[in-house]
Homo-oligomer: A and B are copies of this chain.
Amino acid sequence: MPSLSQPLPPLSKDEYKQRVRELRTELVQLQHQVRKRKKPVIIVIAGDDRSGRHETINALSSWMDPRFLSINAYGPSQHEDDTRPFFWRFWRDLPAAGQIAIYLRDWTSSSLVQYLNGEISEKKLRKREQYIRNFEKKHTDDGALMIKCWLHISEEKLRERVAEVSDTPFFDKKDALALKNYPEAMKAIQQTIDATSTHDNHWYVINGDDDRNRNLQVGEIIRNQLQLWLSNGDREPEPMLAETYPSERININMDPEPEENRPDKKECKKKLKKLQTTLREQVVMLQKQGIPICIVFEGWDAAGKGGAVRRLVAPLDAGFYRIKPVAKPSEDEYARNYMWRFWREVPRNGEMVIFDRSWYGRVLVERVEGFASEKEWQRAFKEINDFEEQLTIHNAVVIKFWINISKEEQLRRFQERENTEYKKYKITEEDYRNRNRWDDYVLAVEDMIERTSTEEAPWSVINTDFKDKARVMVLETVVEAFKKKLDK
């Protein structure tokens, strides 16, 4: 353990009181400055068993203004956590801009517990460390402050504390185990702490043997980090390294499809029916196996996303799927990391969620319209790949459609909409504005596919000017992907 974990000389009660008095005044004032900063603060209090984490959190929460502070503690993992990707619950409880959240039993310590209990292999733990670095970077790149404290206690002190409670109801059989495995656990902890201490997000290791010293040190670290963060402007995220992209670049601009390609309506209907029957059978199996399914629909205005979605769900039981239309974020959503609202909607095991537009808005409309800064949308490619990887390692099927039509066909459909009473509402000035930026969108779409079409979460581009054909192609793609999953 780093030198910080060495015990400090004990503090007298009076000195402690005096320093706490100063500290809490400062903390409360800092909290009010955080409110104005419009970015969240994420504090992690992790540590060894019996290291006094809980007492320290109680102290912090008595020193700070509870209106702008939330404590996210996680008990034994809940069924609703287990049926979703590992990071889901931490995302769900993310503080809003101007808020401070303290996490107890955070992503790092939970991973270590899983490893020490034999629930995940060492290889998985190493992989998890990478995900942790990505997770934390995502938030700090976005302007959040992250402060991570690891409370350590010496073997001697642990022995002492366990002895103190050994005949009381507060004794836990985990205590005996912690004592027995102390050397082994410390080795694992040290390794994970090293692996998750990055330039931007490093761990403070604090000796937890003495209560007063521990509480004060944690409080003072938080104060110092808040002061530093508040006095600096937004941190410059580390520059992106030149990257190789997961996919080839494809040309998205398609020529109008010749009339002779028009499919036979009856033939299409027959195919569709057959595919829907297969789909329904597959879905029973997928549900039984508890496989989560995530399907994304992106595409040009009037490309026929809605119609394709309806043909897809027509054979399915409505209790199995949810359709999530994505529009501009609400106030609560806007106050948090861009990915927050999508994390909240990820499918449970055995559930299918269809996103009608999605997180790709960041690199499409937000990029083209300038709602996201260049840095933000550039960063988004990697963040999105990471998000989708969290889904696929949780055994999800991820299918992403770009519904493509030619520019000429789009105009034809716009005009058709304008001339059909019940379709008029679908066409607004915005559609024409978007159409005027066709070439900007082409660039954005081509970048998007090149950079986010991964092996486990590939893009499927549906290239046709004929709706009936598009719907069949969508069904074929889904059936194919489900077959691949079920054959595994």
- Residues 22-43 (chain A) with a chain B CB within 8 angstroms: 24-25, 28-29, 32
Task: List the B side residues contacting A63 at CB < 8 Å.
Answer: 422
- Residues 312-329 (chain A) with a chain B CB within 8 angstroms: 313-314, 317-323, 325, 327
Query: Given A62-B310, A280-B169, A356-B66, are A105 and B421 also a contact pair (CB < 8 Å)?
Result: no
Task: List the B side residues contacting A319 at CB < 8 Å.
Answer: 73-76, 104-105
Copies in the complex: 2
The CA of A77 and the CA of B265, in the complex, are separated in Å by 40
Q: CB distance A66 to B425 under 8 Å?
A: no
Q: Does A330 contact B (CB under 8 A)?
A: yes
Contact of A320 among B75, B318, B330, B426 (CB under 8 A): B75
Q: CB distance A325 to B75 under 8 Å?
A: no
- Residues 5-34 (chain A) with a chain B CB within 8 angstroms: 21, 24-25, 28-29, 32
Contact of A28 among B58, B169, B425 (CB under 8 A): B425
* Centre residue among A332, A356, A421 by max chain B CB count within 10 A: A421
Query: Given A54-B318, A105-B319, A310-B61, are A67 and B325 also a contact pair (CB < 8 Å)?
Result: yes
Contact of A421 among B25, B71, B351 (CB under 8 A): B25
The CA of A104 and the CA of B320, in the complex, are separated in Å by 12
The CA of A280 and the CA of B66, in the complex, are separated in Å by 23
Task: List the B side residues contacting A76 at CB < 8 Å.
Answer: 319
Task: List the B side residues contacting A313 at CB < 8 Å.
Answer: 58
Q: Does A331 contact B (CB under 8 A)?
A: yes
Task: List the B side residues contacting A62 at CB < 8 Å.
Answer: 306, 310
Task: List the B side residues contacting A168 at CB < 8 Å.
Answer: 277
A 54-87 to B, binary, CB cutoff 8 A, 1 in contact else 0: 1001100111011100010111101110010000
Q: CB distance B169 to A29 under 8 Å?
A: no
Task: List the B side residues contacting A24 at CB < 8 Å.
Answer: 422
Q: CB distance A325 to B66 under 8 Å?
A: yes
Nearest residue (CB) in B for A82 is B79
The CA of A61 and the CA of B332, in the complex, are separated in Å by 27
Task: List the B side residues contacting A29 at CB < 8 Å.
Answer: 425
The CA of A281 and the CA of B168, in the complex, are separated in Å by 10
Query: Given A66-B356, A67-B327, A169-B280, are A104 and B318 also a contact pair (CB < 8 Å)?
Result: yes
Q: CB distance A306 to B66 under 8 Å?
A: yes
Nearest residue (CB) in B for A313 is B58
Chain B proximity of A243: nearest CB distance (Å): 35
Q: Does A348 contact B (CB under 8 A)?
A: yes
The 9 lowest CB-CB distance pairs between A and B, nearest first, are: A75-B319, A73-B318, A331-B331, A80-B80, A79-B79, A25-B422, A24-B422, A25-B421, A28-B425
Known pairs A62-B310, A71-B322. 15 more at Cβ < 8 A?
Answer: A24-B422, A53-B318, A66-B325, A66-B356, A67-B327, A71-B318, A73-B318, A73-B319, A75-B351, A104-B318, A105-B318, A105-B319, A169-B281, A330-B331, A330-B332
